[in-house]
Structure 1
Amino acid sequence: MERLSRLTPATIDVLKMLVAAEGPVWGLQIVKTTGRPSGSVYPILDRLESSGWVSSAWEDDTSRRGPRRRYYQLQQEARELAAAAVTTLENKQKTMRSSRVRPAGLAEA
């Protein structure tokens, strides 16, 4: 498993979804849940899979109509690292929000 070089907010959203999932997650479900465009989510999933963080498999159900679904699952070895990355970014965002400079003339309550 390789270290991730880019942990963008979109990557964190995808990791958050995968950490919360109890099993494989359909790619379009990740797109819908994260609210990120498929043009961002699928390259992230590809990068995570190439790095060994995620595995994927095509569905075997031939009775379902429509295109085959590809399911993604966070590797067990990556679960702790992914959860830590999500927590780190969330804490960083909280710190940034709380330390924003207030406009002059506004008193604190």
Structure 2
Amino acid sequence: MKNLGRVTPATAMVLEALLSAERIWGLQIVKDVGKKPGTIYPILDRLESAGWVIGEWDSAEGRKGPRRRYYRLVSEARPLAQDYVNVQQAKAPTSPSRPRPAMREGQWCGA
């Protein structure tokens, strides 16, 4: 298992999704994280190359639609992944609210 180096907020979100399930398919991670596939799949590839994640193609032939690729976090990576998630959550603001935009002179506030 290789060191990941700098972990972006998106990577921490992917790790959190992987921690939440024993095995999860790629598009479900995309939905859970709320980022585009072009952001998530390169992160999954990097995690797999680093030995943190094992990816396996779905072998269920009875299911309609494209094959799914399932990912699971290796057991040795779980505590480190949780550490990265905890650090990222500690950095996040406690309130998701944003400041209201400043009013321009003569603008009606609607309040």
TM-score normalised by the shorter chain: which range applies? Answer: 0.7 to 0.9
Runs of 4+ in 1 over 2 A off after TM superposition: 92-95
1:75 maps to amino acid: V
Count of residue correspondences: 95
TM-score between both structures, scaled by the size of structure 2: 0.81
**In 2: Cα distance, 1:26 partner to 1:2 partner:** 23
1:15-94 mapped onto 2 (5 Å cutoff): 15-21=15-21, 23-94=22-93
**In 2: Cα distance, 1:6 partner to 1:33 partner:** 22
**In 2: Cα distance, 1:60 partner to 1:93 partner:** 39
1:17 maps to amino acid: A
- 1:55 is paired with a residue of what secondary structure? strand
> What is the match of residue 5 of structure 1?
5
- Identity across the alignment (%): 53
1:71 maps to amino acid: Y
Q: CA deviation at 1:94?
A: 4.1
> Larger Rg: 1 or 2?
2
- 2:92 is paired with a residue of what secondary structure? helix
**In 1: Cα distance, 2:50 partner to 2:34 partner:** 24
For structure 1, the residue ranges without an aligned partner over 5 or more in a row are 98-109
Instruction: Say which structure is richer in helix.
Output: 1
**In 1: Cα distance, 2:40 partner to 2:91 partner:** 22
For structure 2, the residue ranges without an aligned partner over 5 or more in a row are 96-111
Q: CA deviation at 1:20?
A: 1.4
RMSD: 1.3
TM-score between both structures, scaled by the size of structure 1: 0.82
